[in-house]
Amino acid sequence: MSNKPIAISDAESRVMEVLWQQAPQASEDIVAALLEPTGWHEKTIRTLLNRLLGKGAVSAQKDGRRYLYSPLLRREQWQQQESRSLLDRVFGGKVAPLLAHFSQHEKLSTKDVAELRKLIDAIEQKRR
């Protein structure tokens, strides 16, 4: 069935972010989008793109003499993987300790709190 999650490295995820914002894009555009914010060499960015191709995280469709790249791995799916990994590795798989941690250690904006409350209300609503 081959359900192995695609492992994306840190640097690679930066490339994915660019593609998640817009796709398809030529490598040139991806390079342009990342040069400044990352300070990476153009070659580096192309390497990462290629590795992502190899991993099946992005696809490439020939467009004339170059390729247009699109993400295959969905952002949601990746966030899911990473979150679960944190949860399992660091918080023993239990959500409550993680939430407690965030509430104690991360500055929650008023908006965060409001958002949270809305979420909880919605969840409880759905349960009854």
| Residues contributing to the site for DNA (CB under 7 A) | 7, 9-12, 26-28, 40-41, 43-44, 46-48, 50-51, 53, 60, 64-67
38 near a copy of itself, rule: CB under 8 A:
no
Binders of a copy of itself among 10-29, rule CB under 8 A? 10, 13
Query: Measured between alpha carbons, how far is residue 116 from residues 52, 93, 103, 108, 111 in Å?
Result: 35, 20, 11, 10, 8
> In terms of C-beta density within 10 A (0-12 exposed, 13-18 middle, 19 or more buried), how is residue 21 classed?
exposed
Closer residue to a copy of itself, CB minimum distance, 67 or 71: 71
Q: What is the CA 52 to chain-centroid distance, rounded?
A: 13
Closer residue to a copy of itself, CB minimum distance, 63 or 119: 119
Could you tell me the smallest distance in angstroms from the CB atom of residue 25 to a copy of itself?
A: 20
6 near a copy of itself, rule: CB under 8 A:
no
Using CB under 8 A, list all residues that contact a copy of itself. 10, 13, 78-80, 82-84, 86-87, 89-91, 94-96, 98-103, 105-106, 108-113, 115-117, 119-120, 122-124, 127
